[in-house]
Structure 1
Amino acid sequence: MSITLLTIALVLLVALLAAAGAGQLARMDGASYPTAIRRAAAAFAAVLTLAALATGTLATLAGK
């Protein structure tokens, strides 16, 4: 159970760092604040989607 919670925390941390980086890069590129937040949210969602996809794939492979 603790490994699962630690993994979830790590994935959320990576997603937050990716979102912060995407937002910062958007602002450095001259994007407005709403656009930068939108890009950060898209990066956050993308990381979580990839993590869910990887988890599903590993669960399918482990079940065989």
Structure 2
Amino acid sequence: MTVAVVLLATALVTVVALLAAAGAGKLARMDGATYPAALTRAAVTFAAVITLTATVAGAFAPLLT
């Protein structure tokens, strides 16, 4: 069962990161940024969400075991 929970949590984090990246790219484009600049902002947002999630999971891991 733990494998299923890990897979579902990973899928949820990926979807949230993709939504945040899409929102950041759209907002950047609406602000007048070029397509490469908007794509860069979206990529940075995606990486930030994944990094933040990994950091929080790492901090909570000792508490949950």
Structure 1 length normalisation: TM-score?
A: 0.94
Distance 2:19 2:64 in 1: 29
Residue 38 (structure 1) aligns with = 40
Gaps of 5+ in 2: none
1:28-64 alpha-carbon deviations (Å, 9 max, x no partner): 000000000000000000000000000000013335x
C-alpha RMSD of matched pairs (Å):
0.8
| Runs of 4+ more than 6 Å apart | none
Distance 1:8 1:62 in 2: 17
Structure 2 length normalisation: TM-score?
A: 0.92
Number of positions where the alignment pairs a residue of Structure 1 with one of Structure 2: 63
Instruction: Give runs of aligned pairs for residues 1-64 of structure 1, distance below 5 A.
Output: 1-63=3-65
